[in-house]
Chain A
């Protein structure tokens, strides 16, 4: 650690916290089959970021005020998710059609707004593009600390309401019959996903944040049949990916952190896919081979 500066260390810890939170929240998105909703959510943050930038300019606030930009991101992300829910509820379109439509419209609007802003002579919009693929290099120490704290808050909330989220994800009908406010629990879960997405915008970028939400959860599922353990493993995989990815990108100046983080997570995913004892490919084929041998040797009773 002696080789990394104070700022880099803070950014690195922030990315670790982000990975932890994304891995944990992501478990519920995977189990609720909401992976694509979070993809639409992250893509839909772009118009919000640019709109917030324009608002800031009009109000005379410094152009790249991170809290302002992230607030804009959260608002347009939330509007996109609400739009998906509304389309699903009030029309007979299926969820994937609603997701496809909303994701592309919001992202398209964001791209158009972004190119308009870059044409404005007075605007210093150079930093905005960093939100698409992530840009840790530009992060200030204070910002990285704030984002890390928010990520830890999200992870703590998941742990606190573990029981409620598990109930909702497993059997929503039963939960409602028993009087649980499933709408509000679902809203809380979506709020946490939004928080993690927004926190991850600067580090990972809006295109790749989906991978940090989904890959650690999918990786963890190979190792365990217990949701609590799955959350711990996914949090660990996310944290390692975030930390190692940020470290590598700080060492090799031009490597974008987001892409490296996702590649680290994906490497862990493929290793798990093959070697995980209970649900991995290797374990499964070994068990089948053993079974076949036992059957042929006549040791197996039906």
Chain B
């Protein structure tokens, strides 16, 4: 792993002042409608970042445009100071659970092994070494016992953990996660949050679309607040203010942080 990073990819040391992700002037439109306007933002070199905003604010679109999954109208993306295209091997991705067909004939282990394909390479067979690494990733999310289950026979929370394990198997430096906590059970939520903290402790960056404002402060260090464009960004304490929430969510924002009374 280390060898691959040294040869193909470039990661500056943490004190070099280069962010994990630098987005500049990113605008995205679906058909005629502008979804994101001119977002310029630099992610911190490490830490957990929550991308928040109301429904339809463009959170998922932001993630997909950064990853090149939807075309951007304008803007450039850099990962650790270099164009994203050359740094793909440093990126891990957890898509929304609804994005795939769970009736697909693969086991949980098969799916997690897909996280290793980039390390295995074109046309090569999957070796025991990579299968063991996938198994380890499954174990990390508490899913080792389900390795050989067809994915359709897993609960929603278990499926989400399989997706997280696949990203772990990628051994990435910078992770993008699209609502990994949406609609999961309490046990899964605890597991995922624990893994996020581990990733943080290992010095990796996680950029995570998150819909539950009340848990942002407990888990995340930084916030990127979007609503059709950049509303606010920075450490949770500075950016997650009533004033900013009102700008993102409108008047409904009062009490969002405190929860229903």
Contacts and interface: CB of A to CB of B under 8 A. Distances in A.
A221 B89 CA distance: 34
Contacts of B111: 170
Interface residues of A, number: 24
Interface in B104-148: 104-107, 110-111, 114, 117-118, 120, 122-126
Contacts of B170: 178
Contact of A227 (B105, B118, B166): B105
Interface stretch (B92-100, B201-209, B253-261): B92-100
Given A176-B69, A224-B105, 11 more contacts: A163-B117, A163-B125, A164-B122, A166-B114, A167-B114, A174-B93, A178-B91, A178-B170, A225-B105, A225-B152, A226-B110
Contact of B118 (A170, A171, A173, A180): A180
Contacts of A178: 88, 91, 93, 117-118, 170
Contacts of B235: none
Nearest to A221: B105
A294 B177 CA distance: 42
Contacts of B93: 173-174, 177-178
Contacts of B31: 92
Contacts of A227: 104-106, 110
Most buried by A among B99, B106, B152, B170: B106
Interface of B: 31, 64, 67-69, 88-89, 91, 93, 95, 99-101, 104-107, 110-111, 114, 117-118, 120, 122-126, 150, 152, 166, 170, 176
A5 interface: no
B117 A170 contact: no
Interface in A227-278: 227, 230
- The 6 A-B pairs of least Cβ separation, nearest first, read A179-B88, A225-B150, A177-B93, A177-B67, A227-B105, A171-B100
13 contacts: A163-B117, A164-B117, A169-B104, A170-B104, A170-B106, A170-B114, A173-B95, A174-B166, A177-B69, A177-B95, A179-B91, A226-B106, A226-B107
Given A163-B126, A227-B110, A174 B105 contact: no
Nearest to B68: A176
Contacts of A170: 100-101, 104, 106, 111, 114
B99 A173 contact: yes
Nearest to A181: B122
Nearest to B126: A163
Contacts of A176: 67-69
A145 interface: no
A93 to B, nearest CB: 13
B105 to A, nearest CB: 5
A31 interface: yes
A291 to B, nearest CB: 15
Contacts of A161: 123
A2 interface: no
